């Protein structure tokens, strides 16, 4: 059983962004870079070597790759998915920036 994880709510947007990932995965790095470019606070949950947290990520997202990004507990998929949203100009709104 995974203990309750405290996640950060961005003080400006009131949005809760969570990234499940591993430290050196290239797609995780890209996702971090994109979220940092938006200047929103996000919580990172490292699933490296942690079967329970990886299982939790899979259960919540229905996916088995990292990263997985959640905005206000809603799964938005991996880096490609949030990058596609950004290209369509929809990510800022999801992040509470627009």
Tell me the chain's radius of gyration from C-alpha atoms: 13
Binding of ligand GSH by 38 (CB under 6 A): no
Site string for ligand GSH, 60-79 (x = CB under 6 A): -----xxx----------xx
Q: Give the count of alpha carbons within 13 A of 44, CB side only.
A: 15
Binding of ligand GSH by 25 (CB under 6 A): yes
- To ligand GSH, the closest distance from the beta carbon of 88 in angstroms equals 16
Positions in the binding site for ligand GSH (CB under 6 A): 25-27, 65-67, 78-80
């Amino acid at each position: 059983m995974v203990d309750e994880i405290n996640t950060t709510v961005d003080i400006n947007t009131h949005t809760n962004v969570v990234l499940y990932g591993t430290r050196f995965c290239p797609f995780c790095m890209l996702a971090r870079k994109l979220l940092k470019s938006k200047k929103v606070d996000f919580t990172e949950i490292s699933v490296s070597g942690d079967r329970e947290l990886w299982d939790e990520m899979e259960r919540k997202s229905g996916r088995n790759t990292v990263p997985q990004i959640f905005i206000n507990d809603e799964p938005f998929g991996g880096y490609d998915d949030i990058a596609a949203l950004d290209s369509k100009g929809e990510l800022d709104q999801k992040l509470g920036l627009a």
